[in-house]
Amino acid sequence: MTPLGAKIRELRAKRGISLKDMAEGLGVSSAYLSALEHGKRGKPTWFMVQRIITYFNVIWDEAEEIQRLAELSDPKVLIDTSGLHPQATELANRLSATISGLSPESLAHLLHQVRVVAAKDGV
């Protein structure tokens, strides 16, 4: 599941909306919406993200969060480390080789560390 998929599922659950009803409201198939939630579809278009925001009738912070999560929800990431430090290539390859076996706790820890370092380095 992608970060956006988890948010959509959370909003649907809070409001008692079925996948089928939301799909109808967005004008997409239930299969598409399910695949979007589960990360089996690529990152949604800007237009689809706006339709989701409108569907849930959210504004300001929550709308910005949905947009941010959509940007972080590409399930097929490609990391180009050409021209970077050799450790960048090693990090990308080790992560690629091990990510599927990491526990939710380990993933949360690594994600936190990346956020801290990125903030420190101004990235």
The dihedral formed by the CA atoms of 64, 68, 71 and 75, expressed in degrees to the nearest 10: -120
**pLDDT attached to residue 14:** 95
**pLDDT attached to residue 17:** 97
**pLDDT attached to residue 67:** 96
**pLDDT attached to residue 76:** 86
Distances from the Cα of 63 to the Cαs of 50, 58, 68, 69, 87, in angstroms?
Answer: 9, 6, 9, 10, 36
Q: What is the mean pLDDT of each run of 10 residues along the chain (123 residues)?
A: 94 96 96 93 93 95 95 90 96 95 96 95 90
**pLDDT attached to residue 42:** 85
Whether residue 66 contacts residue 4, with contact meaning beta carbons closer than 8 Å, is answered with yes
- This prediction has a pTM of 0.77
**pLDDT attached to residue 55:** 97
**pLDDT attached to residue 75:** 85
